[in-house]
Structure 1
Amino acid sequence: MIHAILLGIDGSDRSRRIVAVGAELARATGASVHLLCVVDPAYYLEEGPNGLPDTHDEIDYPAAAIEREGADQLVRQAVADLQQQGTQATGEVLPGEPATVILEKAATLKSSLIVMGHRHLSWIERHTSGSVCHKVLEHALTPVVVVPSTDQEQHSREGE
């Protein structure tokens, strides 16, 4: 039985589709949802006692502040949208290597399902950085639902 679903989102166009698929699965099964956005540790500002990054860090590291705020906003908005639809939802932003953090969080939460996106990588990207989706599929101890890129996302990516 599906009782807890982990959604891996990254701010790409497919994040909305991942949340939509997760919401549909949660409604069908009565499962709770946990959204996770993983950011590069170099761009992760630690939270202070008030739950927000320290103001001095934001001034000293503006790129990290922008990255962190964008990730926080993405997760907050997706959680609010899911809760408004009646789905029990939580979320967080964590630093690290995405596949590793997703697998660790799935284990910690005892998730019964992981929902994440897939993007088409060039051959050089596959050999240099690897696919997060592929790594999760190889090591997951729970089922993984993969939300593919749309044709529009793929054409946009090919134009880069």
Structure 2
Amino acid sequence: MPTFNRILLCYDGTLEGRHALKDGACLAQELEAEVHVLAVLSNSAWVQGADIISAVPVEFINDSAKSVLEEGLQKLAARGIRATGHFAVGDPLDQISFFANDLKVDLVVVGHRRTSRLARWWSGKNDGLLLDRVSCSVLVTMGPETEAQPAVAGTSGVDETTPPVEHG
């Protein structure tokens, strides 16, 4: 089993991000690992809502996003975990892979947001997988399903469109 000495926790303040932070914190404590927290302000909001966003001062948006990072660091500190915080603006896949490789982490922890097949298809994303962009292990945390995302009776709950995670 690989040793995870340096862990990158990706935190965005969402329910999924909170699960990733909690699960990653538990693992980091068990392994006594060095912890880094990354908050990414996605630049897709700038492209999709340029009219609205341009009316909001950039400092306000950066301060809001940095407060998410601070919140994550405070949650870890409350558990007795010292972590180094990192903030970036850009595409989350690009930023996560950059920091994972730059910091030479052994493990990246991210939360998974469940979406329907239609939503996944409709988004039309062709960014490639995070797994293809990093040279370390990736832990994808799965929080409990919310009322807004009920399980459909008669399904396995497994997304057949997503390839299985390879362990190596």
Per the normalisation by structure 1, the TM-score is: 0.74
Residue among 111, 120, 125 paired with 1:130: 125
Decide whether the 8 Å contact of 2:20 with 2:141 is kept in 1. yes
Distance change (3 Å), C-alpha of 1:61 and 1:89: farther
Residue among 8, 11, 22 paired with 1:9: 11
- 1:139 corresponds to: 133
- 1:148 corresponds to: 142
Residue among 10, 29, 32 paired with 1:30: 32
Distance 1:146 1:63 in 2: 34
Residue among 113, 126, 139 paired with 1:119: 113
Distance 1:17 1:94 in 2: 21
Distance 2:103 2:9 in 1: 12
Identical columns (%)? 26
Structure 1 residue 67: Cα displacement: 3.5
Runs of 4+ in 1 over 6 A off after TM superposition: none
RMSD: 2.6
Per the normalisation by structure 2, the TM-score is: 0.71
Letter in 2 for 1:94: A
Residue among 72, 76, 85 paired with 2:66: 72
Structure 1 residue 19: Cα displacement: 1.0
- 1:87 corresponds to: 81
Structure 1 residue 41: Cα displacement: 3.2
Report the more deviating stretch, 107-116 or 62-71: 62-71
SS of 1:35 mapped into structure 2 = strand
Letter in 1 for 2:36: H
List alignment gaps of at least 5 residues for structure 2: 47-53, 151-168
Greater share of residues in helix: 1
Q: Which structure is larger by alpha-carbon Rg, 1 or 2?
A: 2
Instruction: Kindly provide the CA deviation profile for residues 6-30 of structure 1, in whole angstroms up to 9, marking residues without a partner as x.
Output: 1112221122211111111111111
List alignment gaps of at least 5 residues for structure 1: 45-59
